[in-house]
A and B are shown apart, each in its own frame.
Chain A
């Protein structure tokens, strides 16, 4: 799963769980399982364990797209697919589908120059004084300078409005902004601002207002004060449409010397209150010249896509003869690409990605092995994507140039992070994309018996989005986030293998049901602002007035406070309370809490179980709409 929104590693795990995993035995599907399509005896043989242990082992080195580890993983997949009897798609010779992507980015010698009226120009070129932002256009621009605070623009849907630009005209100017977001705002406000504080988003905001370039400074009151922003790899690299660079403290100081009566420190301090009325200002009489040179490295990786034809030749001809199962197999390598959430002591270690997404790959392989022996009127396509972590690159490439006609695909079922099932709960997402799904899900689940949380929104941070955009009915299975998300601690030993096997069985039965539908599922375009269903937009809409205590290490969500007059305060919750259950869902950490929020509706009371002084109690809280 790609990083989406703010997922900070807020809780520590007691110990690093990195196990020295060796390459596990390859899975052989028993003849019986193959002929019956029966679930293997879970007590003795797991259909998924060996796959997870193999893919999450050191040998595959974190499976970063374009890396040697990813190529080895692709080899593993090809081998396993051949073992279960899958073959290339009709008209294809190979299971591998190469695609190119930008795999790295470097600064090729950017510079910045300042010229004050009547003064001499000063110019900087050192890497610690100026560096292009990874998504910047290359080019040289000059112009007048406007300081626009933190450069934050929070749309109306936030709990309050915030616009660093206010009434300022920045057209054809060079906009200078602070990195991050106001330091002293309260936690609740910061949580909202943080979502909009990404540099790419700030660049977009500047570009939309007609700015000629964006210059980012790390303020003296911020973490990493005075440093340039590292050139983190950014996947959707090209086409940000604006020249953007980060400059060091020395450049910032030289610039603010031209501002009479206001130091950068003072300007930042005023902004840091979070008061939305603190305005930016022009820096008159200064011409800034920015010359950004960013070079991008093209790399190649592969999707692995295989085919199980309809069960026998002469199967009845059906409308839309392909049903797809998919999972991305790439992960973060050693975490160098920016979306790692590794703690300081873990940085640079292998990110094993056992849940994300060796689990999904293992389940699709196991489901494929079962489907190979099951009656099916449509063919099954087993797809394994690379480049997901860099922005759904592989699946997007597939839907852009599909090896089978895209309108012949009846449905796509995605598995991403399905290995950490808790309390029998399985989120079935994107269910709003077809009216056929409720029946198929109901019938599939009766013999499996998951506690299914149905969510309609298909706009998910996973490969489902590529298929939804291509108007293909889709579903995505997900067992929830966890504190090891995008960290080296996402290891095979933490996978709930027994339930992963059940997910594989569920997937096989689901695929078979779709494959045998007389009519393919219809496609429903789900509007982004759907009132029901999940997606983290729903969580954002909901206001509970809780202020999480990010520093605590308790089981549950400890409250650092509650917002006066908010739903939590009205319910009687107080600072120090530890929420352990919200709306029927267990809350062990902030991720669980966010997940629980996705399921609630504005105005519909929910039960909150909490600990106060260690004693359990419960209250009813009525979520409100964010204003």
Chain B
């Protein structure tokens, strides 16, 4: 859900950072992680083993992605650049039965990362619409795009970004955070009592050293950490404290742990981690030595999804792995281009994700998910030689 998980932002982010690295490699593939090679033969799968009836779900607008299902599975909340006059993402709710789409966010400014409240169906998202410069920024971005001088990636971790919750029927907004710093990538606990989210507030509420200040200008995500607060926005508490971008947190289906992804300081390598909701017992799940991110649990709790560019620095694919990372991850998408931000439906029988498989900047796709096959594959995967860290 994390904003930088917005596919293009991340792809471009990588593109810039990794150009030099790619040029060093004989192929455009990442070197395979060496720590976990194993003599045991690995089963070979294809996309059809796990996904059937895959299809493109969204067509309107420049791009769309990060779809999350409503608790009853009949709707998807997603972000899309399709609002006339606004080049930035807005939040929409798509009714999977009728096909009707409704904008739920104010239409002004930037938004990202919607998530349904598990009980009320209200919709959490991050927005900058309170920023009085919003219209000005929209205009500037539109003009920049028109002149072809679009920024390499459009995501800037705007410190104006704050969390809001929209009433699902009236769209009435309630502001949940109100401190300087990027507050976004929020999601609810299964009981709806808590919100985990990403914030760069630490970079704005203290005096930074000269080198930190420079870091903030180059890459504000360096300061992003995971926080937890009550669903009404009170009692925010920091859970992570490591340099580099920590983001995209979600609860396990039973609420026992939180999964998120942690970038290294350079912002090049990311891995999936889990921890208890109090921030203790932090464990690394993946170890591809590539960018593994966008984790999300299957509702069975048996395995988690993530996306990684292990097979080519712009060729993100979706993987599944047991929640402790004791086995080798199993690749489940096999299509060139970006395949990421995987999110299963509440019944675990569908998968929504974001892909560039038909070209363009990314749109949402959906397919039938073969949970039995996935479970079998996760169980049959070889044990990692070095185990988890």
A424 to B55, CA, bound (A): 9
The minimal Cβ–Cβ distance linking B297 to chain A, given in whole angstroms, is: 25
Structural contact, A442 and B336, CB atoms closer than 8 A: no
A442 to B364, CA, bound (A): 11
The minimal Cβ–Cβ distance linking B339 to chain A, given in whole angstroms, is: 11
A-binding residues in B (CB < 8 A): 53-61, 82, 94-101, 334-336, 357-359
The minimal Cβ–Cβ distance linking A145 to chain B, given in whole angstroms, is: 52
Closest to B315 in A: A605
A22 to B58, CA, bound (A): 43
When distances are taken between beta carbons in the complex, the residues of chain B under 8 Å from A424 are 53, 55
The minimal Cβ–Cβ distance linking A166 to chain B, given in whole angstroms, is: 40
Structural contact, A449 and B98, CB atoms closer than 8 A: no
Q: How large is the interface on A (under 10, 10 to 19, 20 to 34, 35 or more residues)?
A: 20 to 34
A444 to B95, CA, bound (A): 11
Structural contact, B336 and A452, CB atoms closer than 8 A: no
Structural contact, A452 and B99, CB atoms closer than 8 A: no
- Given B53, B96, B336, B359, which contacts A446 in the complex, CB threshold below 8 Å? B96
Structural contact, B336 and A607, CB atoms closer than 8 A: yes
Closest to A513 in B: B99
Structural contact, A446 and B357, CB atoms closer than 8 A: no
Closest to B100 in A: A443
List residues of A (441-500) whose CB comes within 8 Å of B's CBs: 441-447, 449-454
Q: Does A293 contact B (CB under 8 A)?
A: no
A495 to B232, CA, bound (A): 57
Pull 26 A–B residue pairs with CB atoms less than 8 Å apart, ordered by A.
A424-B53, A437-B59, A438-B61, A439-B59, A439-B60, A439-B101, A441-B59, A442-B59, A442-B60, A442-B101, A443-B99, A445-B55, A446-B57, A446-B96, A446-B99, A450-B55, A451-B56, A452-B56, A453-B358, A454-B56, A454-B59, A509-B99, A532-B359, A599-B358, A605-B336, A607-B336
Structural contact, A601 and B359, CB atoms closer than 8 A: yes
Q: Does A620 contact B (CB under 8 A)?
A: yes
Closest to A423 in B: B53
A606 to B336, CA, bound (A): 7
Structural contact, A438 and B59, CB atoms closer than 8 A: yes
The minimal Cβ–Cβ distance linking A621 to chain B, given in whole angstroms, is: 10
Structural contact, A447 and B59, CB atoms closer than 8 A: no
When distances are taken between beta carbons in the complex, the residues of chain A under 8 Å from B97 are 447
A424 to B97, CA, bound (A): 18
Structural contact, B336 and A620, CB atoms closer than 8 A: yes
The minimal Cβ–Cβ distance linking A22 to chain B, given in whole angstroms, is: 35
Beyond the given pairs A443-B101, A599-B358, A601-B359, 17 more chain A to chain B contacts, judged by CB atoms under 8 angstroms and listed by A's residue number, are A424-B53, A437-B59, A438-B60, A442-B60, A444-B99, A445-B99, A447-B98, A447-B99, A449-B53, A452-B55, A452-B59, A453-B358, A454-B358, A584-B335, A605-B336, A607-B335, A620-B336
List residues of A (400-439) whose CB comes within 8 Å of B's CBs: 424, 437-439
Structural contact, B53 and A584, CB atoms closer than 8 A: no
Q: Does A604 contact B (CB under 8 A)?
A: yes
Structural contact, A584 and B55, CB atoms closer than 8 A: no
A437 to B59, CA, bound (A): 9
Contacts A532-B359, A604-B359 given; indicate if A442 touches B58 (C-beta within 8 A): yes
A599 to B359, CA, bound (A): 9
Structural contact, A584 and B56, CB atoms closer than 8 A: no
Closest to A424 in B: B53
Structural contact, B60 and A446, CB atoms closer than 8 A: no
Which of A453, A454, A599 gathers most chain B CB within 10 Å? A454
When distances are taken between beta carbons in the complex, the residues of chain B under 8 Å from A438 are 59-61
A450 to B57, CA, bound (A): 9
The minimal Cβ–Cβ distance linking B198 to chain A, given in whole angstroms, is: 29
A584 to B57, CA, bound (A): 17
Closest to A616 in B: B46
The minimal Cβ–Cβ distance linking A512 to chain B, given in whole angstroms, is: 11
Structural contact, B55 and A449, CB atoms closer than 8 A: yes
When distances are taken between beta carbons in the complex, the residues of chain B under 8 Å from A620 are 336
A452 to B53, CA, bound (A): 11
Closest to B314 in A: A605
When distances are taken between beta carbons in the complex, the residues of chain B under 8 Å from A441 are 59
Listed from nearest, the 8 A-B pairs whose CB atoms lie closest are A446-B99, A443-B99, A438-B59, A451-B55, A442-B59, A439-B60, A438-B60, A447-B99
When distances are taken between beta carbons in the complex, the residues of chain A under 8 Å from B94 are 446
A438 to B58, CA, bound (A): 8
The minimal Cβ–Cβ distance linking A268 to chain B, given in whole angstroms, is: 45
